[in-house]
Copies of this chain bind each other. A is one copy, B any other.
Amino acid sequence: MNRNDIEPRIRESFDRQRLLQTLGARLGRVADGEVEILLAASPQISQQHGFVHAGALAAIADSACGYACLTRMPEDSGVLSVEFKINMLAPALGREFIAKARVIRAGRTISVATADVHAIDDAGASKCVALMQATMMRVEDSPTIRA
């Protein structure tokens, strides 16, 4: 797929993801088979110990995996999450979080992607705090399911 085509389509789709706006996430780099989503730490997304909630990290990693798969699908495609699995590797502490997803296999119906979530601290140091392995399904673009 033409990269000139896919990036605006993903940015337009991202802007419709209201949860990601609610969390304070923004779309980063979009490349062939790779998508990054950033999330600024804030008290609004914490769990009971003050770390960022696993659900917030899962949300950005899941969306990054979906879009990474979408970059390898035909133009008339929408993407749905079939399932994902995420390991929490370290307490989610930091100034900002980056979910970096990449496609592992792009199939006709089923695609698989992985995502690392890195925490960036105030000094700019990066640490991997979560790891996702996700299964995505291509659906034909329709009035209900777009991109």
Q: Which residues of A are interface residues toward B (Cβ below 8 A)?
A: 13-14, 16-20, 22-23, 43-50, 52-56, 58-60, 62-63, 78, 80-90, 104-105, 109-110, 112, 114, 128, 131, 133, 135, 137, 144-147
Contacts and interface: CB of A to CB of B under 8 A. Distances in A.
Contacts of A54: 58-59, 62, 81, 84
Contact of A16 (B22, B48, B90, B137): B48
A62 B88 CA distance: 12
- Copies of this protein in the complex: 4
A80 to B, nearest CB: 7
A16 B51 CA distance: 11
A50 B128 CA distance: 31
Given A19-B56, A83-B85, A90-B105, A131 B128 contact: no
A17 B80 contact: no
A49 B145 contact: yes
A112 to B, nearest CB: 5
27 contacts: A17-B46, A18-B45, A19-B44, A19-B46, A19-B53, A19-B55, A22-B45, A47-B63, A48-B147, A49-B80, A49-B144, A49-B146, A54-B59, A54-B62, A55-B59, A56-B59, A59-B59, A80-B88, A83-B83, A85-B85, A85-B86, A85-B133, A87-B104, A87-B135, A105-B128, A114-B131, A133-B133
